Structure 1
Amino acid sequence: MTSKADVLLVTVTKVESRAVMKAFEQATDCKATPQSIDNRVYFNLGTVNGARVFMTQSEMGSGGLGSALVTVSKGIDALSPVAVIMVGIAFGINEEKQAIGDILVTEQLRLYDLQRVGIQNGQLQIILRGDKPHASPWLINLFKSTVLLREEEPKVRFGVVLTGDKLVDNVDFRDQLHCFEPEAIGGEMEGAGLYVACQENRVDWILVKAICDWADGNKAQDKDARQQTAAQNAAKFVLEALQFVRIDWQQKRGGVTQIDRSREVITEPEKQKTPSLSNKNYPNRINSPESVNDQPDITTKSQASGTDYTELRDLLRDKKWREADEKTAELMLEVSKRKKEGWLDVEAIKNFPIEDLQIIDRLWVTYSKNLYGFSVQKQIWNERKDNKDWKIFGYYVGWYKNDRWLDYSDIISQLDKSPLGVLPRGGGVARQGRWLGGVSWECAELFFSHIPSLDRRGDSVIPSSADANAASDRINSPVPVNSQSEFATRSQTSGIDYKELSDLLRDKQWREADQKTAELMLKVAKRENEGWLDAEAIKKFPLEDLLIVDRLWVEYSDGKYGFSVQKKVWEECGSPKDYGREWKEFGDRVGWRRENQWLSYNSLVFHPETNPMTLPARCSGRVICAEGGWFVCVGGSGFCWSLLFSRITP
């Protein structure tokens, strides 16, 4: 289908739609023109800074007839936009720090409707099961760049936005949602539909809405004026972003990002010019008669290693993707002499022959018609590496979904719905976030520095030695580490092996892991009979053991739990050393107190998303419920924890 729009704006209410049309009419000096396409009405808002902009109005919510999911999906089919931007009004979270009219720009959405509701230890337990997707990075960058040169008011806030089909106007329910997602900056009702429709169609998206109320039961107060202010602010900011920089939308579709700003042209480095990730018409990504899609004759014999990749080529030619992926892993491990280990360490990546990488990548890119290959993954990596979050990369290549790493069989069975770059994955050795080319951010960075990129003709461009050396210099240890790492669990100082604790944490058995932590720390300190650590025991506790315990907690909870995480909160509360207001504040922050009362151990909520920083909790004192605080030991609870934290390095 011929593209009719570069940008599709989606609104919901009349006040939102009118605010958008008014803002763009003033900018283009043209009235919005309604057009009927496939039994839906779209408004042509004209051309802004080279972008053809259309608007359509959705019904409220993400599900149901005429909802955001349906509206955005049909809009993509009808107009083939490069980007979809949802514009409108939202509720705020914090009246003290936010103001009516403040603009909220989504970095991530938090879908809260999908929940697990159950009972644990006699307490109601609710766990969110919905996605937490990231908006398109280049759109986030565009809006953040726009803020740099604008006036102070209204304020623009970037972060997590709650989204669900409920019209929230109850402060208790709002606060409950905020507890589920403490980083949330606001909430609304249509974002889930926007995300799902764009994800399914591989179209870039972002949500920009402004605060019109506080979801506190006072939604009707000054409703019209507040909604009008919020809608106008959001509409004007979207317009401002489109006017801020001239984007070559045709090049964006074709695979080369080229931005024309005033008198200068900023073009991505030649080695990063790979197929666009937003265009769903895969075979047409590289518009050249010399495209790799023509499937040229590729040399399959490596002179560097002597390895013959003919069998891999035949599997790829026959579209046997799983077999080809497993063969890729097998051959790469064979070349690096790491078949026994089953993955590549730093030295293996450093020494892996560039010629072999070129052959493997060229075969994948050629026979998948630019859907798969290390260089395709490298493009995704380059666009998202500033986040330094392995899970974000995993999400965009289809390995991580719904807060978990997908099983290899799940990935392979859903290839027809998977995003670009899902393969090569590393065959059966790639589990729980582990990847053939590295299991840490630094390892992956080194790996991709050795991967050739594709130029517009589909030819490989060998990375410079400077790129590889720069990445190599950032690797301080041959042992790769990430959230599923395999670092040493045995302490050379005490002789204690923390393998069982590691297994419990890996399996997210938080309560059992907390109890095991206490058991092992008491064993190290030889205070099993007492059942708690006094000040002297904490002073003499082996530093190596403390760091092993802390690292295990931090790694497997993705930074939500651990002594070093708690230490940061403790320092923010004034580093209290005795029982008092600051110690109570610390208890509130880490979830040991609620409604001015210290909780019993069985009342704690063991969930890193809704109650981060709570654990470990059972390691330095006796579990009693007294005025003295949660944990009481010689010298007072705050004193003992201050000793513990003073020995922890984040």
Structure 2
Amino acid sequence: MKNYPLYFTITVTLLTINPAISNTANNSYPQLSQHLNQQNWKAADIETRKLIQQWTYPNGDLYSEAQFNKIPCENLRAIDTLWMQASNGQFGFSIQQQLWQKQQYTNPRQKVEALGKTAGWMRTKPLTDAEFQDKWYASTWLMETELNYTTKAPKGHLPWNGISAETINSLTSQIGSGCGSCSIDAMYLQEERNYKYLPGFYERVKTCVAASPSPSNPLEKALTSKNWREANRLTSNKLLELAGQQQQGYLTASDIKKLPCTDLQTIDQLWLKNSNGQFGLSVQAKIWQNINGKNYQDSLRFEEIVGWDKTQPIFDQKTAPKGHLPLRPALSEGIMDAWGGWWIQEMSTRLKTCRVF
């Protein structure tokens, strides 16, 4: 067992939850999905923290080394997708990781603080003397109770990676009751922990969710440059290629069922990340689910929502409806037809099976 300093001596018991994975992110995390659909950002933030901490601190010891590699990539992707979809690309781990990558500091501590300021996790001005009396253990980083749980918060503000106010308060309440290290413990969890935790966590996010663009991947290049027309064409061709139907030029229900899950996850994450949650296969599937789509009449409603009832596709992110892209795969640029080959129904089912949404 490692020999930690004095402030590494208290074990905090975490709430235990069952992260059982079912066929969809929504079904895997029904509470999180419900909170996000209701835009109850605070409840969703608390639920997300419980999910992540069960893997990073499996024994409930918040002072131990966080076990980032224990976070299953498919779970991290599912959680991130739920946040991205519900917030229209405002919140999510992949958004935070992008902000992390943009910080140019070589000094790790400076880089963490730059991210904290960008995401709105650090104070913009020092505490007053009166405020310091109550928040002496949180002089630079915000406490949970000070977070902005609205869409007016800075991009990437949520989900938060700190320690709950309940845990911090439980420590400070014991200071006068014989707990000699509680004041140091509270300061460590509220402040110093961030400098150790955040770099490791975003390395895991990069591995699982937000890998750096590869110049050799034409689709990734098109999406990062916001060339939506080319990205749509490449997506259509890629899906036809994966199904071995380049000559046929369209996909049947049986073709869709054979599409590899890994490729679908990669394609969808690229679209989500580069469109800030506006475009993607999972965005379309979520819309189909929200209207309880089942038949041809429902597909017409879907087409109306995503703008496929127009005469021409829209390759302008500012004017295109949510879920407009990518189009249904076909030769050339694809087609705006949701029901041909039972496309939207079968693709939504396949995405659920692959745990893409």
TM-score normalized by structure 2? 0.46
The structure richer in helix per residue is 2
Please tell me whether Structure 1 or Structure 2 has the larger radius of gyration of its CA atoms.
1
The structure richer in strand per residue is 1
Higher relative contact order (CA 8 A, sep 6+): 2
